[in-house]
Amino acid sequence: MTTTPLDAADDLNARLSIRRTEPSASPQLEALSLAVSANQPVLLWGEPGIGKSAGIEQLAAGLGCQLETVIASVHEPSDFAGLPIVGDDPATTGVPMAPPDWAVRLARTGRGLLFFDELSSAPPAVQAALLRVVLERRVGSLVLPAAVRIVAAANPPSSAADGWHLSPPLANRFVHLHWTHDPRTVARGMTGTWPRLTVPVVDRARVSGAVARARGAVSGFLTARPGLVHQLPGDAESRGRAWPSPRTWEMALRLLATGYASDAGHEAVAAALTGVIGDGAGMEFLSYVENLDLPDPDRVLANPDAFALPERGDRQLAFLIAVVAAVQSDLTRERWEAGWTVLAKAVNRGVPDVAARAAVDLAAMRDTDWRVPDGIDAFVDLLQLSGALPGA
């Protein structure tokens, strides 16, 4: 085999490319993994050269899935909206919008990681075209499979080439994570060893209780703080980051439920939640959740007579909402009747108003063949007025 002057240099570079990973506690890596597990679009904010792309590559390798990288700043709106393909009879068949090759590959595989890089350098027209990809998972006439995860990266407009603030509609569709570097980690990496990204594993046995607890926490908080349901910031920079809206509260619900059902750490969950509803609303919500300390609603439904209703009104409301959500997720006559036993405890404690909304929702799940349990008596007038229990 003929040698060239570059062979030794290529060997040197190959040796420098060899690296290993080791377990390491990194809240930002764990927050990224949590958001990806919850299948919520993630946007990494960080200065150029800080390792955002390397983190995405490591994530794809850890998930064992295909990575498709799209540099948003060098594309046209039509690259995301699709290019029109005129057929033989467009008046009859219409004009389909052909998707780009990366979308076709993801659709063929059925799962993967779609990475939009340099998002803040994309002009407003391209950002507008990306809205449909992120929200509806549609590229041209092609619908991306549900298992495809979306991650993006952006540099702050001050350090991005021709940087733009993200439009509020696009920003409000992402979990915003601040990507920073640890000098010690970088120094360790120069030896060839980098931290290993681990994806939080959802425990199937905890799914039902996690969903119910998350529903109770989010609904209870927004009932107490309705002003935080939607708060559009006043300045352009803040509107291009995380802020609370009904859409982002739905995302927060999924993140919190995934955190409850997995072994995700507190810091990672906190970073993900503040990254989707903003620092102000996020810190207030985290404080609320930490003080709730809700019991597992599935365990309570298994033995409702042994359960004692919490003392505080906010905990009572959140827990009753969680109980109803748990019944709905696995509806049987036994669990439905157990739910009424739990609600009856609120009546016995002299706070039927706290359980009123939960009672309406629980009554709506009733099968017509099920008898009316004793615990429903205190709510009959309310339920008849609402129409949730006709003829009770």
Q: Give the pair of three-digit tokens for residue 32.
A: 């990224």
Region 276-293: mean pLDDT is: 93
The predicted structure's pLDDT at residue 384: 56
The strand pair at 175-178 and 42-45 is best described as: parallel
Q: How many alpha carbons fall within 13 Å on the CB side of residue 2?
A: 1
Check residue 262 and report its DSSP letter. Answer: S
User: Looking up tokens 């929200």, which residue turns up?
Assistant: 135
Residue 150, strand partner residues: 114
Region 227-239: mean pLDDT is: 91
Region 258-282: mean pLDDT is: 94
Region 82-89: mean pLDDT is: 72
Specify which of 91-95, 193-197, 366-370 reaches the highest per-range mean pLDDT: 366-370
Check residue 74 and report its DSSP letter. Answer: G
- Give, for 292, the enclosing helix (H) or strand (E): helix 279-292
The tens digit of pLDDT for each residue in 28-58 reads 888 998 999 999 999 999 888 887 888 888 8
The tens digit of pLDDT for each residue in 143-179 reads 999 999 999 998 886 665 556 778 899 899 999 999 8
Q: Is the pLDDT of residue 392 over 50?
A: no
Minimum mean pLDDT range among 125-129, 241-245, 313-317: 313-317
Global confidence as pTM: 0.84
CB 224 within 8 A of CB 155: no
Q: Which residue, 353, 352, 364, is CA-closest to 390?
A: 364
**Which runs of E-coded beta strand occur in the chain?**
20-23, 42-45, 67-71, 83-84, 97-98, 112-117, 138-139, 142-143, 148-154, 175-178, 193-196
Long-range pairs of 336-339 with CB within 8 A, sequence gap ≥ 24 = 336/362, 336/365, 336/366, 336/370, 337/370, 337/373, 337/375, 338/300, 338/301, 338/302, 338/304, 339/301, 339/304
φ/ψ (deg, to 5) at 268: -65, -45
User: Looking up tokens 């709730």, which residue turns up?
Assistant: 292
Q: Tell me how far CA of residue 334 lies from CA of 196, 350, 361, in angstroms.
A: 45, 25, 17
**What is the Cα 367 distance to its own chain's centre?**
33
- Give, for 347, the enclosing helix (H) or strand (E): helix 333-348
